[in-house]
Structure 1
Amino acid sequence: MAERPELSAEQRAVRRDAVGDLGAALRDLVDAAVRTEVPLEELADVAGAVRELAGRLRADGRGLHDIASVDDPEIGERWYSPVYGPGNPVAPPMHASSTPEGRATGRVTLGKTHEGPPGLVHGGVVATMLDHVLARAVRAAGRGGLTATLTVTYRRPVHLGVPLLATAQLGTTEGRRTTATARLVAEDDPDTTLAEAEGLFVALRPERAADVFAAMDRQVGAWTSRS
């Protein structure tokens, strides 16, 4: 496949809007798919229509190790992230933000797509959300790193359809190692902890990062040591 030219800032903004619009439509489709009880014939017709649409999208695609043109891997911005990516139909998506002091927040309401026990959010999804805000807090403080350890404590069941708030704060730093802590609450009950987590993140040495991300078609810097 021929190498794709990088998009200008304006081109990337336009494509991000289109990717986000498709992602929203697909999330609606996924939600409908996990709730539907339509007759078998309708299920078969819809499956055929979806396969046809998938073929249209595959007419021009990227490889498994190619980075999306709407991404910015130098700062860790992933438009198809499974946690917050506007273009990813399995993402909630979480609305996340961070500050240079090493604090991060994420707001999200989860539906049937992320259900574990009936009416409750799957525990693995809870862990994924906490891991994301932990990593975002670390990265916001200028500390690259991959998750080395993640310890999650589940305090209360997390219900579907409830606006949730995840917060994270930078902990200690030593060399390439950085810690952070996170907490998940319902927005209307911020004093009750639903789950909490501690994470250790280790930045890759430049030479190790070059090896880990060797298959990528663009430079990756967000998970690399700056020193």
Structure 2
Amino acid sequence: MAEADRAARREAVGELGTVLRDLADAAVRTEVPAGELTAVAAAARELTARLRAAGRGLHEVASVDDPEAGERWYSPVHGRGNPVAPALEAGETPGGRATGRVTVGKAHEGPPGLVHGGVVATLLDHLLARAVRAAGRGGLTATLTVRYRRPVPLGVPLLLTAEAGESSGRRTTATARVVAEDAPGTVLAEAEGLFVALRPERSAEVFRSLADPAGTWTARTGDAGA
């Protein structure tokens, strides 16, 4: 796909994702009559059929994606095109650090008024992985330990930070935390993760749909046997 075409498609994917996230929020908060719910469901089925007119296989990479650069437009955490994503805005800096900002809405509620604990863990896991990548390492999550220090409220801007730790062979550790933007001195939750890079042959098997998965999930030269 030409770069101009990809850019145009990304814009359209992002717009649809925004609209669908708004629809999801409306769906979990609505109290309209049952008849209106039935009518909306019928309209949604028609739209679903239009989107299914051309699709990709379960293991195929989206045309708007660039996995090597971390461009995952349908990521369940930060994907602009994914209607279930809490739409985390995240980035990383050289040296193994990553930051993120997100305001979690009703669709990801656990106890009333609070973010579901599994969603908190997912956000932290993503930041940990970004920090590992920023350190020039690859890997998949091997272990994830989350400590919930305080309830995490819905509708509040949250800040997440992560930092890569020690590396040994194919293994890299990282730590992360989440705070409210207006109370940065109070840790709401924190996590430790261990990431293990796949050996090249295993990576080729697991990610056979990718042309080159080496940089993100695969051990670097010299680490594969560790």
The one-letter amino acid of 2:23's match is L
Q: 1:12 is matched with which residue: 6, 25, 30? A: 6
Measured against aligned partners, the alpha-carbon deviations of 1:80-118 in whole angstroms (never above 9, x if no partner) come to 001100000011100001001110011000110000000
Identity over the aligned pairs, expressed in percent? 73
Tell me by how many angstroms 1:218 deviates: 4.2
Paired residues, number: 220
Corresponding residue for residue 3 of structure 1: none
Q: Partner of 2:21: helix, strand, or coil?
A: helix
Q: Partner of 1:126: helix, strand, or coil?
A: helix
Q: Partner of 1:191: helix, strand, or coil?
A: strand
CA distance in 2, matches of 1:119, 1:191: 22
Corresponding residue for residue 158 of structure 2: 164
CA distance in 2, matches of 1:117, 1:218: 42
Distance 1:217 1:57, change over 3 A: farther
Q: 2:63 is matched with which residue: 63, 69, 79? A: 69
Q: Partner of 2:35: helix, strand, or coil?
A: helix
Residue 46 (structure 2) pairs with residue 36 (structure 1): no
**Unaligned segments of structure 2, at least 5 residues:** 222-226
Corresponding residue for residue 101 of structure 1: 95
Corresponding residue for residue 78 of structure 1: 72
Corresponding residue for residue 175 of structure 1: 169
Q: Partner of 2:219: helix, strand, or coil?
A: coil
The one-letter amino acid of 1:176's match is R
Tell me by how many angstroms 1:220 deviates: 2.5
With structure 2 as the length reference, what TM-score do the two structures score? 0.95
CA distance in 1, matches of 2:4, 2:125: 31
CA distance in 2, matches of 1:109, 1:76: 21
Tell me by how many angstroms 1:224 deviates: 1.0
Corresponding residue for residue 148 of structure 1: 142
CA distance in 2, matches of 1:220, 1:30: 33
With structure 1 as the length reference, what TM-score do the two structures score? 0.95
CA distance in 2, matches of 1:63, 1:220: 18
CA distance in 2, matches of 1:77, 1:217: 14
Q: Partner of 1:193: helix, strand, or coil?
A: strand
Corresponding residue for residue 118 of structure 1: 112
The one-letter amino acid of 2:192's match is E
Q: 1:88 is matched with which residue: 82, 85, 95? A: 82
Corresponding residue for residue 220 of structure 1: 213
Q: Partner of 1:133: helix, strand, or coil?
A: helix
CA distance in 1, matches of 2:187, 2:217: 30
RMSD: 0.9
Q: 2:124 is matched with which residue: 111, 130, 133? A: 130
